[in-house]
Amino acid sequence: MKTKHLFWGFLFITIGLLVLLNNFGSINLDWITIWKFWPAVFILLGISFLIRQEVLKGFIVSLTAILLAFAIFATFKAGWELAGDHFFIDVDDGIEISESDSDEIETTTFEEEFNPGIQKAILNFDAGAGSFILKNTTAKLISLTARGIKDNYRLNRNDNKEVSTLDFEMERTRFSFRKGKIRNKVEFNLNPEPVWNMNLDLGAASIDFDFSKFKVEKIDMNMGAASLKTKLGDLSDQLKFNLDAGASSIEIWVPETSGCEIKTDVALSSKDFEGFNKISSDLYRTENFGTSGKKIYLEIDSGVSSIKVKRYSGSW
């Protein structure tokens, strides 16, 4: 039996057993103590790569899956027990958890005017964990609406001739939780006229980005354990999208009008590249990659993830 089958089999079986037992009687696990041992998952995986003897390799991989299952279960159980509480986490010189009143939460709008002389815009977006949405265009250069801890964001702008650089980031790494959900949501709209370059640094997040309405040249996205859904467009002749992700659910839509190439560096991830031809173990291309005048280059580096790249036609 292949070791990857053993890994996923023992992972799901262990999580299922823990959840089942917890349903009949609460299982008390010291989350903090268990979480300290999560780096052992990488150590065991590293050992499994060095071992050639199949039986021993299978044992190590199975043990890795069981350890990871306990860490996942303990984490979600701890979060569930806090689901009915309202509190916030302030991460500066360590981690502090304290109660938060509802009046700490507010909605703040940030806007920057568009100058027709701006040909290129660079967005540096650093927002930690939360929910982030890009859907619509705006007559402004950028328009953002942030809902979360009061006075927790800042937007700076620096123009240099035809290039405008926008820095949007948290003043402090602070998150509000209510009923188990992070109350840190940012919706933003962009002007469709300039060519956009984006550097996006996000944590454990729910991400829904529609880039199809914009002339995007390059996207560098770094995210933690996240859920990503994004749609790319064909308004630029060439688009480079570099994604560095943790354990995530990733769904990327690319237009059929563009030739697309995918390079992957993934470990223990499921891949669904619909409409792509496999060139080598980590390289995939669409049939029209060599002939299309518009090209999209995807580079995906992730841990244990579910990765889907699909093609769409028309406006979708």
pLDDT in tens, 59-69: 777 777 777 77
The answer to whether residues 113 and 40 belong to one domain is: no
Query: Which residues have C-beta within 8 Å of that of residue 72, sequence separation ≥ 6?
Result: 15
The answer to whether residues 134 and 265 belong to one domain is: yes
The answer to whether residues 168 and 304 belong to one domain is: yes
Q: Is residue 88 part of a domain?
A: no
Number of domains in the chain: 2
Range of the domain at 14: 3-81
Structural domain ending residue among the three candidates 81, 110, 143: 81
pLDDT surpassing 50 at residue 241: yes
Q: Are 166 and 112 in contact (CB under 8 A)?
A: yes
The answer to whether residues 140 and 54 belong to one domain is: no
Neighbours of 103 (CB within 10 A): 7
Reported confidence tier of residue 97, pLDDT bands at 50, 70, 90: very low
DSSP summary character for residue 232? -
Q: Is residue 280 part of a domain?
A: yes
Taking residues 6-25, report their average pLDDT. Answer: 71
Instruction: Give the residue, 138 or 226, on which the prediction is more confident.
Output: 138
The answer to whether residues 32 and 66 belong to one domain is: yes
Taking residues 109-115, report their average pLDDT. Answer: 96
pLDDT surpassing 60 at residue 162: yes
The answer to whether residues 73 and 128 belong to one domain is: no
The answer to whether residues 77 and 119 belong to one domain is: no
How far apart, in Å, do the first and last CA atoms of the chain sit?
Answer: 41
The answer to whether residues 75 and 111 belong to one domain is: no
pLDDT for position 183: 65
143/145 Cα distance (integer angstroms) = 7
Q: Is residue 168 part of a domain?
A: yes
Q: Is residue 263 part of a domain?
A: yes
Element (H, E) at 202: strand 195-210
